[in-house]
Amino acid sequence: MAISRRRVVAGAAAGALAPHLAWATDDGVGTPVAAKVLRYAFEVAETSLDPAKINDLYSRTLTPHIFEGLYTYDHLARPVKIKPLTADGMPQHSDDFRVWTARVRPGIYFADDPAFKGKRRELVAQDYVYSWKRFADPVNKSPVWSGMETEGYLGLPELRQRVLDEKKPFDYDKEIEGIRAIDRYTIRFTLKEPRPRFDETLAGGDLYGAVAREVVEFYGAEADHPVGTGPFKLVQWRRSSFLALEKNPDFREMFYDVEPAADDAEGQALLARFKGRRLPMVDRVEISIIEEEQPRWLSFVNGEADVAYRVGYQFAPQAMPNGKVAPNLAKKGIRGFPVVEAASNFYLFNMDDPVVGGYSPAQVALRRAISLGIDSKKIIDYAYNGLGAVAQGPTLPNTTAYDPKLKTECSDYDPARARALLDMYGFVDKNGDGWRERPDGSPLMLHVSTQSQARDRKICEVLDKCMRVLGIRIELAVAQWPENLKAARAGKYQVWSVGGSSAAPDSEGSFQKYDSRQIGGQNMARVRLPALDKLYDRIQTLPDGPERLSVFREAERIGLAYMPYKYVLNRVSLDMTQRRVVGYRRPVFWQDWWQYVDIDDGAVAVAKKA
């Protein structure tokens, strides 16, 4: 990481929140005032702060606070609503949804950085052209490229392929039809096929935020040195342990302006309280990495953290018994926010693995038998304290194609049927040791990747008991989550339990996992089924309506039949905030929210007097 020594300050040790730093700002007329510091913890470490190199939730929570996309989502609008962020007005599109044009608002500047050599650096259309091209540059090894490629930017795949064939550096100056700066502030996207929902891509500031070319060239392509136009800038970073971001002094004037629904009483109250306030309202955000649930929860209860983001499932019953904040916490002014997430947890099978992969009837039967043998309800009850619903398939709650009435075999727990299926296809105990072998007589052993946290250990306990009932042995491979993610993208694993969430309202993202062109990216199971590729293409190009919904159902049916993914639960989680945090609401599909909350220590003082 190429960050100058003056910016690297000792962070918190993993497992404990950083101490509250005493620093001050002023009120605009020189009077010192206490800085407003928001503190909380991630359960998983960041992998990078370079938008082109990430696709995990935790890194993507950090980046949109630093980098900005053209569009964003209204923070309080439900149903969700896209609105301009750095763009001047909403995007324009051709009648066939193949050509999309957006205009960058003049007068937006990047945070000051030595890469700009003392000059103010304005955001222009070419910055988005450069940032989009970075995903295609092979040197960045972007996990998002495979998904971007399917969007069909004219000329971009060919530009990438030329680099691979000629083994030369990526030519960022080569103009292509797919992504062009028409003038200083206007950018045009031209796509191979219709993309009726391309505005959702444009709203993905956690990935498609503007990166300045000078910064990358100044620090080197391998450097992780984030400089953006967003409300915060990175000031401290101890990898996998602690990060601190402070209010960007170069951030433009942006004010609290949201559109909650008329019947959203809380949203209307927040609007009345904050309308017209300049953003961000906090001065500093401190993020500690605390993997285990107990110390993360204790840091919140003891007042060392302001937000308990996804309260550990182990402590959810103590936090909100019967759906209400526990009396001892309510007395402190702590608030609870139950959240039905657009997210699921699932097992993925490496389809290239000789033991669990493959498309023959016997291999499909093995995966389906394993699925039938996994007790999803027990995993939810034991590892998640009942927070979650048994999943029926890939389509996520809160997204367009989700059907709450859908019932599939994916949710079935039927060990008798599972054993019969294994027997039928020759997965039997051939040597009498009590464990099944494969049809060729070789051992049937599941190598399961996992992490060391308590919840993961509980999940593995249930899996081990379920597989013992079937006569299948498992062996655990324990590593940190970022390492398991890296191995899964490279196809160097057999079975892994992981979670995923939607970054947009449309259900299309859930089916990226089945697209063979996205192997190494979203398709970590490495599925190769031409029928699913064709259905995914239709999902992308069809307009919303009954025909498109039927394509979703067909893709779902085929995906579940081959079972490269065993969906376990749709997540329900719980957030909590201290009394001093005002304005919190969990985003639905986007990840940036720090700029919309305030720290009000006066509320704490009033409560103590009372």
Q: For the chain, count helices (H), then strands (E).
A: 18, 21
Question: Rounded to the nearest 10 degrees, what angle do helices 454-470 and 376-383 cross at?
Answer: 150
Q: Is the pLDDT of residue 12 over 90?
A: no
Is 27 a residue whose pLDDT tops 70? no
Is residue 439 predicted with pLDDT exceeding 80?
Answer: yes
Q: In the chain, pLDDT over 90 holds for what percent of residues?
A: 91
The CA-atom distances, in angstroms, between 200 and each of 186, 206, 207, 220, 538 are 19, 12, 12, 31, 17
418-439 as b/e: b if 16+ CB within 10 A: bbebbeebbbeebeeeebbbbe
Q: Where are the domains of the chain?
A: 34-274, 341-571
Using alpha carbons, list the distances in angstroms from residue 9 to 47, 215, 224, 445, 556: 19, 21, 16, 46, 49
Question: What pLDDT is stored for residue 601 in this prediction?
Answer: 82
pLDDT at 427: 98
Strand, helix or coil for residue 471: coil
3-state secondary structure of 285: strand
What pLDDT shows up at residue 17?
54
- Which pLDDT does position 222 carry in this prediction? 82
Two domains, one topology: 34-274 and 341-571: no
The chain-wide mean pLDDT, for the chain, equals 93
Q: C-alpha angle with apex 307: 301 to 311, nearest 5 degrees?
A: 70
Largest distance between two CA atoms of the chain: 84
Plot region of 259 (φ>0 → left; ψ -120 to 50 → alpha; else → beta): beta
Pairing of the two strands 335-349 and 24-26:
unpaired
Q: State both tokens at 583.
A: 């304005």
d(CA 357, CA 366): 9
Q: Give the DSSP letter of residue 371.
A: H
Q: What is the pLDDT of residue 223?
A: 84
CA 357 to CA 363: how far, in whole Å? 6
Give residues with Cβ within 8 angstroms of 525, minimum separation 6: 348, 349, 350, 351, 513, 564, 565
For residue 592, give both structure tokens.
């940036």
- Burial group, residue 583, by CB count within 10 angstroms (0-12, 13-18, 19+): buried
The answer to whether 396 and 343 are in contact (CB under 8 A) is yes
For position 518, what pLDDT does the model report?
95
**Backbone dihedral angles phi then psi of residue 14, each to the nearest 5 degrees:** -60, 135
What is the average pLDDT across 582-586?
96
Please tell me the predicted confidence (pLDDT) of residue 29: 52
Give mean pLDDT, residues 53-77: 96
If you average pLDDT over residues 16-28, what whole number do you get?
A: 46
Give exposure, 173-207, as e/b (b: 16+ Cβ within 10 Å).
Answer: eeebebbbbeeebebbbbbbebbbbbbbbbbbbbb
**pLDDT exceeds 50 at position 606:** no
**What local confidence, expressed as pLDDT, does residue 14 receive?**
37
- pLDDT over 60 at 1, yes or no: no
> Any idea which fold 341-571 has?
Dipeptide-binding Protein; domain 3 (3.10.105)
Q: How confident is the model at residue 120 (pLDDT cuts 50, 70, 90)?
A: very high
Would you place residue 13 in the very low, low, confident or very high pLDDT band (cuts 50, 70, 90)? very low
pLDDT digits (tens, 9 = 90+) for 485-502: 999 999 999 999 999 999
Instruction: Reply yes or no on whether the pLDDT at 156 is more than 60.
Output: yes
In this prediction, residue 274 has a pLDDT band, given cuts at 50, 70 and 90, of: very high
pLDDT at 26: 52
Q: Are strands 445-450 and 388-390 parallel, antiparallel or unpaired?
A: unpaired
pLDDT beyond 60 at 567? yes
Mean pLDDT of the 343-355 span: 97
DSSP 8-state assignment for residue 70: S
Q: Report pLDDT for 11.
A: 32
In this structure, the dihedral spanned by the alpha carbons of residues 251, 255, 256 and 261, taken in order and rounded to 10 degrees, is -120
Q: pLDDT, tens digit, for every residue of 386-406?
A: 999 999 999 999 999 999 999
Could you tell me which of 121, 104, 68, 116 has the C-alpha nearest to residue 181?
A: 104
Give bridge partners of residue 41 from the DSSP assignment: 288
Please compute the mean of the pLDDT values over residues 332-341 and round it to a whole number.
95
> What is the per-residue pLDDT across 504-545, written as a single tens digit (0 to 9) for each?
999 999 999 999 999 999 999 999 999 999 999 999 999 999
Token digits for 142?
Answer: 């972007």
Q: Please count the other Cβ atoms lying within 10 Å of the Cβ belonging to residue 365.
A: 18
Does domain 34-274 correspond to CATH entry 3.40.50.620?
A: no
The pLDDT value recorded for residue 312 is 87
| CA 390 to centroid of chain Cα atoms | 21
The letter for the amino acid at 29 is V
Q: What is the pLDDT of residue 21?
A: 41
pTM, 2 dp: 0.89
> How big is the CA angle at 443 (ends 441 and 448), to the nearest 5 degrees?
150
The closest of 148, 152, 245, 146 to 193, measured between CA atoms, is: 152
Instruction: Give the Cα separation of 314 and 465 in Å (integer).
Output: 20
Burial call 556-567: b when 16+ CB within 10 Å, e when fewer: beebbebbbbbb
Read off the pLDDT band of 3 (50, 70, 90).
very low
pLDDT given at position 221: 79
Amino acid occupying residue 101 = T
3-state secondary structure 551-564: HHHHHHHHHHHHCC
Looking at per-residue pLDDT, the higher value among 31 and 272 belongs to 272
pLDDT range class, residue 10, cuts 50, 70, 90: very low
Q: What is the pLDDT of residues 168-213, one digit of tens each?
A: 999 999 999 999 999 999 999 999 999 999 999 999 999 999 999 9
Residue 308 has pLDDT above 90, yes or no: yes
- Region at 117 (left for phi over 0; alpha for psi -120 to 50; beta for the rest): left
